[in-house]
Chains A and B, each alone.
Chain A
Amino acid sequence: MARGLKLMWLFIRVSLQNLAAYRFDMYARIGMAFMHVGYELLGVWIIFNRTNEIRGWTVYHMLVLVGVFRMVAGGIRIIIVPNMRLLLQDIHNGKLDFVLLKPVNAQFLVSVREFVVWRFTDVLLGASVALYGCVKLTGTVSPEALLRFSVTLTAAFAIVYSVWLMLATACFWFVRIENIEMVFWNVFEAGRYPIVIYRPWVQGLLTFVIPLAFITTVPAAALSGEDSKIVPYAPVVATAAGVCMLLVSSWFWRFGLRRYSGASA
């Protein structure tokens, strides 16, 4: 465990040094992060200029959701996306051999090799928007709401990580699919807004079949203390869903790894 953390810290330091080498690029990207949030806030303004609420979600509920969406989207790109892309490349060109030979758990190592540190801008901007919406909504951020939020957000990241690990593992069989991540982004797009905007059967689909509801809607509702309206006992159910997904994806990874024969072409 201690060795794992030390290793992770080392990778973070290397990523920071890489970042410092391309400073102009970093400033440009941070500027882009502000632009993204700006676009999303503009979207909220456009909608609520024409209506006061959407199925019980007011403009402040929506701000919380936009903030959470940005936090999750940013968090995914800090650690999950870069590592899974690296894993895909390694599967393609056979370099995964070098990872497997190292005396560390392979799943751990392929998940922490790269960090895109400047993406923390997204997380900070998203958190600010979400907290602002929450304070406007409930007057305060209660410790209980914050706890429910942390639990459901952690579960959200566990689910997203598991989905990505499974998508990447699928490439042991379908080496040709380079853009397999489009599968994720296409579905994630539907999480930009609360799932209550969809018809009941689509909501059911997005909660129980594709657990998209747990990724943005549930944490956002948890922050304003309304998560039980989306899913009963939301923190418990979300945690259970997260743990299940982690177990399944980890099993799938080991199953796929057995199929990997090294492609040192």
Chain B
Amino acid sequence: MTAVARSFFAFLRKGIAVMLQYRGEIVLWAIWGLVNPAVSYALWSAAAESNADGTIAGFGRGEFAAYFFAMMIVGHLTQAWDTYEIGHLVRSGEMSPKLLRPILPIWEALAGNLSYKITTLAFVVPMWCLFAWLVRPTFDTSAWQLGLGLIAIVLGAVLNFVLNYVFALVAFWTPKLDAMGELYFGACMLWGGRFAPLDALPDILRWLSGLQPFKWMFAFPSELIMGRITDPSEAFRGLGIQLAWIAVSIVGFRALWSVAVKRYTAVSG
């Protein structure tokens, strides 16, 4: 276990060094995570304003500001992108040396994920403050909601990372198909509540979103942080569901990984 930890921290140091080298580029990537929730906020607050009572599903302008401000932070901290990357690694043969190491490649991917989030903080935190200052979100959050919300963000990040990696393993069978990344991303937008608060969805879609893991990565932490979940038992139940989905994802990863590695044939060298 200590060997894994030592390798992991080595990967993390390497990852941060790489990210700092490409700081201009990672800022360009991070901007999308700011623009997208800002656009959604503009859309939904304008839509709410057009209604007679100025609200949609209990969200007024200030609540939409709080929701999408929380989503801006949660979306950045829980994001994962291996579905886009592994296909490329398999195609180019870069996966082969990773498989030879006595440590699972998922640890290196996790270190890369964390180093991106650590290095971009210096850029996104001021931007988050600027957005909050511009849109004046109405928060109704008590200390326990914030505390549990932070735990929910960590669990959401773990869940998204592992599940995204499981879906990425499809690349071992069809490395040319980039569709998986797009499908997963679309699911996060719609079922995760990044496009609209789940309470604003039509009933059938809201019901469908409850059956899937995506809302536990994005919508649940955001609603907890903005203070929309007022019942502590509901919050704890949510954390429990997050843990359950994480367990399912890890089991899925272990099962699929052993099959995928046997399936792997190196493409080029």
Contact = CB atoms under 8 A, between A and B. Distances in A.
Interface of A: 25, 28, 32, 35, 39, 42-43, 45-47, 49-55, 174, 176-180, 182-183, 185-187, 189-190, 192-193, 196-199, 202
Nearest to B36: A189
13 contacts: A35-B182, A47-B44, A49-B202, A50-B47, A51-B47, A51-B48, A55-B49, A182-B25, A182-B31, A186-B32, A186-B35, A193-B42, A196-B46
Contacts of B200: 46, 50
With most chain B CB atoms within 10 A of its CB, the pick from A50, A179, A193, A199 is: A50
Given A46-B196, A55-B50, A179-B25, A190 B39 contact: yes
A208 B32 CA distance: 22
Nearest to B135: A199
Interface of A is mostly: helix
B43 A197 contact: yes
B32 A197 contact: no
A197 B42 contact: yes
A54 B47 contact: yes
Given A32-B182, A46-B202, A49-B202, A54 B50 contact: yes
A51 B182 CA distance: 29
Contact of A46 (B32, B177, B186, B201): B201
Contact of B202 (A45, A52, A177, A192): A45
- The 3 A-B pairs of least Cβ separation, nearest first, read A182-B28, A197-B46, A51-B47
Contact of B50 (A46, A49, A53): A53
Contact of A54 (B28, B46, B176, B196): B46
B81 to A, nearest CB: 13
B26 to A, nearest CB: 9
Contact of A177 (B25, B31, B47, B190): B25
Contacts, number: 83
Contacts of A46: 195-196, 200-202, 205
B39 A183 contact: no
B25 A178 contact: yes
Interface of B: 24-25, 28-29, 31-32, 35-36, 39, 42-44, 46-51, 56-57, 176-177, 179, 182-183, 186, 189-190, 195-196, 200-202, 205
B179 A28 contact: yes
Contact of B190 (A25, A39, A47, A193): A39
A35 B177 CA distance: 15
B84 to A, nearest CB: 13
With most chain B CB atoms within 10 A of its CB, the pick from A46, A174, A180 is: A46
A45 B202 CA distance: 9
Contacts of A54: 43, 46-47, 50
A197 B28 CA distance: 24
A25 B190 CA distance: 26
A54 B64 CA distance: 15
Contacts of A50: 47, 51, 56-57, 200
B43 A47 contact: yes
B176 A25 contact: yes
B39 A185 contact: no
Contact of A182 (B29, B42, B47, B179): B29
A28 B87 CA distance: 16
Nearest to A182: B28
A193 B31 CA distance: 18
B32 A182 contact: yes
Contact of B39 (A52, A182, A189): A189
Nearest to A199: B42
A85 B255 CA distance: 39
